[in-house]
Amino acid sequence: MSNLKEILMNKKNCKSVWFMRQAGRYLPEFRKIRSQNPNFINFCLNSKLSSEITLQPIKRFDLDSAIIFSDILIVPYALNQNVEFIKDKGPKLEKFNIENFLKNDENSFIKRLNPVYEAIKMTRKNLQKEKSLISFVGAPWTLLVYMIGAKLNKNEINFEIIKKKKKEIEIIYNKLNDYLCIHIKNQIKAGADVIQIFDSWAGLIPPNELDRLCYRPNFRIVEFCKKNKIPVICFPRGIKENYKDFNNLIKPDGINIDYSIDPYWAKENLKDTVIQGGLNPKILLLSNKEIYNNVKKYLDAFKGLPYVFNLGHGMLPETNPEKVDKLVKFYREY
């Protein structure tokens, strides 16, 4: 925990602020570049543009951490599963073939992801030394949901597929774990300081399956990170009061709470970790006064604790950058 605290906390004032999806669609400078690059995967694999985009919110808001511009689905892509992003619908992956999946090898996987590592190197070179560079992976469960086409909508998955393919899923999980650890190691080697594990669809797992599909796979990756002295933040979004069990069992250096979690509950129940996040991104669409009142709730709750101010999910495209700028200034003055 202390290592993560030292890395994420701004050395000048012992406070830290960054935002999930801080480099993205709400920034006009991002939209300009994005309009010229319609293929999203190719866009992510353009090292120069990825680095430039990563640094855009740092230049604009002087945030304490940069998070590399990439996507969790870059891993299925690197494992030779075609990934397409359809406007207003989201990602679409080609039909999963386990035989093709098992034919992958480490060298070709690294080669396909090399542009990501180059982007990290460029970013680290151009990022101020006192600012941390965060990289990330998707957790096995969240990647699996996309890879086997189990996602029905934002709030529902086809769990019958999961039940029918229990043995196959164990094989996929084991292989995914290996490749995710390779990707983590190479991102750190390239210059990232911290890894965040996004389990974006953890909240869709039935309670009796949380251990098998969420806790254990996250634990394996966190253990790998600890063994290699890599600070790691987990984000098991949507698991509600199970955040407590997750934190006690997995013991990540940091844990990002989503906006369904009351900050005072988190203060009482999430021990021996750096707490991060919580604010509903929709709050940033409200008036300045409403934004400040909601921000104060988190700052007051976590006063005296290691806390990284962030959101409970990613920045919304309709967010006004001026609101973000005022929020950051308010946070630092509070």
Closest CA to 68 of 81, 80, 58: 58
- The catalytic position among 64, 71, 253, 258 is 71
Looking at residue 59, its amino acid is K
88 flagged as catalytic: no
Looking at residue 298, its amino acid is Y
- Please calculate the CA angle 135-33-118 and round it to the nearest 5 degrees: 35
Q: For residue 126, is pLDDT > 70? A: yes
pLDDT of residue 2: 47
pLDDT of residue 9: 60
Closest CA to 54 of 137, 138, 116: 116
**What integer is the mean pLDDT of 26-34?**
97
25 flagged as catalytic: yes
Query: For 141, phi and psi rounded to 5 degrees?
Result: -60, -50
146 flagged as catalytic: yes
pLDDT of residue 87: 81
Residue % of the chain over a pLDDT of 90 = 88
Q: What CATH number should be reported for the domain whose range is 2-333?
A: 3.20.20.210
pLDDT of residue 12: 45
254 near 2, Cβ under 8 Å?
Answer: no
pLDDT in tens, 91-120: 999 999 999 999 999 999 999 999 999 999
**What integer is the mean pLDDT of 49-56?**
98
Predicted TM-score of the model (pTM): 0.96
Number of H helices, E strands in the chain: 16, 11
- The catalytic position among 26, 146, 215, 243 is 146
Structure tokens at 36: 């010229």
272 near 292, Cβ under 8 Å?
Answer: no
60 flagged as catalytic: no
pLDDT in tens, 252-307: 999 999 999 999 999 999 999 999 999 999 999 999 999 999 999 999 999 989 99
pLDDT of residue 1: 47
332 flagged as catalytic: no
pLDDT of residue 156: 85
Alpha-carbon distance of 211 to 50, in angstroms, equals 35
pLDDT in tens, 112-123: 999 999 999 999
pLDDT in tens, 231-255: 999 999 999 999 999 999 999 999 9
Alpha-carbon distance of 262 to 84, in angstroms, equals 36
CA trace torsion 291, 296, 298, 302 (10° rounding): 160
- The catalytic position among 25, 60, 112, 216 is 25
